[in-house]
Amino acid sequence: MQPEFIIVGQGICGTWLSYYLQKVNKSFLVIDNNQPNTSSRIAAGIINPVTGRRIVKTWMIDEFIPFIKEAYNELGNDLGITAISQKNIIEFFPNPFMRESFLKRFAEDSSYLQHPEDDEIFKTHFNYEFGYGEIVPAFTAHLETILPAWRKSLQSKNCLLEESLETNQLKIGASSVEYKNIKADKIIFCDGIAAAENPLFRNLPFSFNKGEALIVEIPGLQQKNIYKKGITLAPLAQEGLFWAGSNYLWDFTHSNPTEEFRIETEKQLQSWLKIPFTIIDHKASIRPANVERRPFVGMHPVHKNTGILNGMGTKGCSLAPYFAKQLADHLIYSKEILPEADVKRFSKTLAR
């Protein structure tokens, strides 16, 4: 077997990179073990154009939004699924200070922000004292349907090897790579936190964090919005189901769900919601974040036929399609990768 590319991982990064390579008829093989608790499979898929207590626009969001709307809709049409939905964020203010902060930002720059005339409209479903603001537009990428649908497509084309990469079977040559009986021109690692064990890329400044979420059934709650008050309720593709989370733990001993998170989140939901809910599932994963909060995209400075698409952190659903396209164009047409994301900014580190 001699594909042009081997792609390691079929999370959000590996899915988008293989999608763009397929669109230009490049041959590839995706190697993925279908582990259920990867960050892509746990994520709510939220695309939020603002961030933080200061409610500032996220990096490059004005460019990302038109790109990702077109990209996800095109992917969805190709797969026969709904890949993205606009779900504006209803941000309930937890205290008067956050309300003041929102109103101040709204007066300075109302991009992506709306202040409702009637802030009592959600009182039948939620407990809140200080009103709310709205973030428009926001989106959910339906990873829970995208990833299995794309996997099925890969299987139908014999482009998927379902196993964990055995690194002792990988040989990196001067002009090609070999894995078992497979020879390819290049290998691209899109394997999330596994990069920390990869001798080629482990010196990159990763800073992993752990997140947990509950899958909750809430009959009667409208699914046209994402709701936030300390925790986030994001609607899933299945009617009546919501993703409830998430925390950000920088110091953790394992990747499993914890009873502490479940108890605390259930208490928060009981205090916030006025309508019944049922906990369906509890999930946890470790996110491939990094110190710079900018992705790692491009080819190794020494091993030129080895590349990476990783480090998306919590913004993977907006960053991955854009930078997968950049990496695909770089591989095929030698186009430049955005300098802030190009992994060659760590050339000295990677050359050690």
Do the domains spanning 5-43+144-206+291-350 and 209-287 agree at the CATH topology level? no
Confidence of residue 183 (pLDDT cuts 50, 70, 90): very high
Residue 88: CB atoms within 10 A of its CB come to 16
Mean pLDDT over the full length of the chain: 93
**Per mean pLDDT, which range of 93-97, 137-141, 290-294 is the poorest?**
290-294
Does 40 score more than 90 pLDDT? no
Q: Please, what's the largest Cα pairwise distance for the chain?
A: 65
CA 339 remoteness from chain centre: 21
The pLDDT of residue 55: 84
Confidence of residue 52 (pLDDT cuts 50, 70, 90): confident
Q: For domain 5-43+144-206+291-350, give the CATH superfamily.
A: FAD/NAD(P)-binding domain (3.50.50.60)
Mean pLDDT within 234-245: 92
The per-residue pLDDT for range 279-294, each reduced to its tens digit, is: 999 999 888 888 888 9
Percent of the chain exceeding pLDDT 70 equals: 100
The per-residue pLDDT for range 317-340, each reduced to its tens digit, is: 999 999 999 999 999 999 999 999
Please provide the DSSP assignment of 68-130 as one string. HHHHHHHHHHHHTS--EEE-EEEEE-SSHHHHHHHHHHHHH--TTEE--S-TTTTTTTB--SS
Q: Report, at the CATH architecture level, how domain 209-287 is classified.
A: 2-Layer Sandwich (3.30)
Confidence of residue 36 (pLDDT cuts 50, 70, 90): confident
Does 304 score more than 80 pLDDT? yes
Does 306 score more than 80 pLDDT? yes
The pLDDT of residue 209: 85
The per-residue pLDDT for range 1-18, each reduced to its tens digit, is: 799 999 999 999 999 999
The pLDDT of residue 290: 83
Short-list 298, 125, 145, 337, CA closest to 224: 125
Please provide the DSSP assignment of 195-259 as one string. GGG-TTTTTS-B--EEEEEEEEE-TT--SSEEEEESEEEEE-SSTTEEEEE---BSS-S-SS--H
Does 248 score more than 80 pLDDT? no
Confidence of residue 61 (pLDDT cuts 50, 70, 90): very high
d(CA 265, CA 243): 11
Percent of the chain exceeding pLDDT 90 equals: 81
Does 94 score more than 80 pLDDT? yes
Phi, psi angle pair for 262, to nearest 5°: -60, -45
The per-residue pLDDT for range 205-219, each reduced to its tens digit, is: 988 888 899 999 999
Residue 347: CB atoms within 10 A of its CB come to 12
Confidence of residue 169 (pLDDT cuts 50, 70, 90): very high
Domain ranges of the chain: 5-43+144-206+291-350, 88-137, 209-287
The pLDDT of residue 261: 94
d(CA 99, CA 326): 39
